[in-house]
Amino acid sequence: MLVASPPKLLVLGFALIILVGAELLTLPIASAAGHSTRWIDALFTATSATCVTGLVVVDTGTYYSTFGQLVILSLIQIGGLGFMTMATLFAVFLKRRISLKERLVLQEALNQSSIEGIVRLVRKVLFYTLCIEAAGAVSFTLRFMFDMSPGRALYYGIFHAVSFFNNAGFDIMGHFRSFTMYVGDPVMNLTAALLIFLGGIGFVVLADLVEYRTKRKLSLHSKVALSMSGLLIAAGAVIIFIFEYTNSLTMGPLSFGEKVLAAFFQSVSPRTAGVNTVDLASLRQATQFILIVLMFIGASPGSTGGGIKTTTFAALIGAVNTMIRGKEDVVMFNYRLAKERVYKALTVTLFALALVMVATMVLSTTEDHQFLMILFEVTSAFGTVGLTMGLTPELTLVGKIIIILMMFIGRLGPLTLSYAIAPKPGRVLYRNAEGKIIIG
């Protein structure tokens, strides 16, 4: 009897959830007009929701009915937490023993180095998720009540809290507006930014922060993830503020305080959230390129976000710094980083670059749009971000398929997918003689 490896189970599990979601979204009851949605559009939406991306070919708020929106919200929650996490939670509630095989799949899904305490971590994941989403829903609901009825405000509050914490970027504001009408609203901006940040730093980091009062220390992973996330958000906000300060189409007409808020939010959103408060197509090209870089880096490991991850980027920066200083070991917070970690960071980054480059070249031939817009779309899909300059609704059939594949690969991770499809390595019988090449 053939037993699938953990990476294969993850790939098959996510694929099955997407297909089920697509079938549900094709039902007439899922659309506001009461007619069946084209299967490719339903597949695109289901992939975007399950892979917590947020790219949409039709407007979520006006095209889909309440049933369709709830299907999307369910896919977001399952995709954000991971289907194995959800399955484990059901098993725990039913008091069923979690097998070793299931623990190995959970280890792969949560990007952990061992299976020790994995079930305990899953319980924490559910608890933190429910608490944070509930707090976000309350904040959003209270603010939405100034603009709509209490029942509708509650629905909007829950939908956007779940979507933003899971870094999905789906919104139901209508007409592809995202949160542009709240560009100067501190409650909406700060609530959304906090949900995005907490969803993007990873559940291991969240657990570390919650237990800091008793342990009085953070793990190396948490220190690197938090410091790099903070540095990227701060640097991105400053750059966006400078480049867009006088742009009359984006931040120019805003007051100084609103400009600071808008720059901060646009820097947080590429953590893979996909929400924007200014028109991204009207940003200066330099700003759009900065957003591409931030989207490519993405969130932290073990989170609801995508990208190559903040810790991967930190390992690369550390390796470059080590080489420039003529040292041998990559040191972070007085800890030496194992060489295989640096090799893995390099592999992930080059793999991701290759995927983005190939997809961008293909779309450059199938889509009649500017190169930067296409690169922005591909990077957003790979990083499971969901930000767009307006290309998504205009994609051709080939373009939709390419973006679907990029979202799927981005959510699972390029290495997980490669492990799933690669043949099992054979036993190494010998090592080759060492050789030398000239570098640089």
21 located within any domain: yes
Identify the pLDDT of residue 193: 94
Identify whether 4 is part of a domain: no
For residue 109, with 0-12 CB atoms within 10 Å meaning exposed, 13-18 middle and 19 or more buried, which class applies? buried
Taking a C-beta distance cutoff of 8 angstroms, is the pair 208, 290 a contact? no
Helix residue ranges, H only, 56-144: 60-63, 66-81, 83-93, 100-109, 118-144
- CA pair distance 279, 416, nearest whole angstrom: 35
Fill in the amino acid letter for 421: I
Q: Which positions ≥6 away from 329 have C-beta within 8 Å?
A: 322, 336, 337
Query: What is residue 295's predicted lDDT score, i.e. its pLDDT?
Result: 95
pTM for the model? 0.89
Residue 138 lies in domain? 9-278+294-417
Q: Is residue 428 part of a domain?
A: no
SS3 state of residue 64? strand
Cα dihedral 304, 313, 315, 418, rounded to 10, equals: 60
- What residues contact 226, with CB distance under 8 A and at least 6 apart? 201, 205, 218
In a domain, residue 194? The reply is yes
In a domain, 435, yes or no: no
201, HSE (Cβ side, Cα atoms, 13 Å): 27
- Answer yes or no: is 327 within a domain: yes
Q: For the chain, which ranges sit under pLDDT 50?
A: 1-3
User: Residue 231, exposed/middle/buried by CB under 10 A (0-12, 13-18, 19+)?
Assistant: middle
In a domain, 319, yes or no: yes
Query: How many domains does the chain contain in total?
Result: 1
- Check residue 8 and give its pLDDT: 73
